[in-house]
Homo-oligomer: A and B are copies of this chain.
Amino acid sequence: MTKEELMTIREMCDAFQVTPRTLRFYEAKELLFPIREGQKRWFTRRDRARLKLILRGKRFGFSLEDIRQLLDLYDIGDQQATQLRRTYELAQKRLAEMIAQRDELNVAIAELQEQIAWGEQMLASMGRKSAAE
């Protein structure tokens, strides 16, 4: 079933711009579950999907532990009902946090844009006063 879809660690690294160390680290932290053929690792389609989410999560400043828990939501099939409810609530919390973060980000963006506009004025007036470029 998954046969041609398996990737070596190197292929993964090239595909996602990470180091082998990082992938092994994520496996140790139970974020990825490559198939172990003796010593070698074979990364599945599922691993790739998870890694993509991991990297995105990181860009939002989530910790790997946060991400690990969130990932379970995408793996609901494996979970029990009790787990599902907990995961569901966790997702709600995260969602609220993310929305709050986005709103703050919008405020900060607006403020930074103001500052930049002000800086542009400064540069313009200074350009007129000093030598031409």
Contact = CB atoms under 8 A, between A and B. Distances in A.
B81 A126 contact: yes
A112 B88 contact: no
A51 interface: no
A112 B116 CA distance: 33
Given A109-B98, A112-B91, A126 B84 contact: yes
Copies in the complex: 2
Contacts of A106: 102
Interface residues of A, number: 36
Contacts of A118: 76
Interface in A85-112: 85, 87-88, 91-92, 94-95, 98-99, 101-102, 104-106, 108-109, 112
Interface of A: 56, 59-61, 73-74, 76, 81, 84-85, 87-88, 91-92, 94-95, 98-99, 101-102, 104-106, 108-109, 112-113, 115-116, 118-120, 122-123, 126, 130
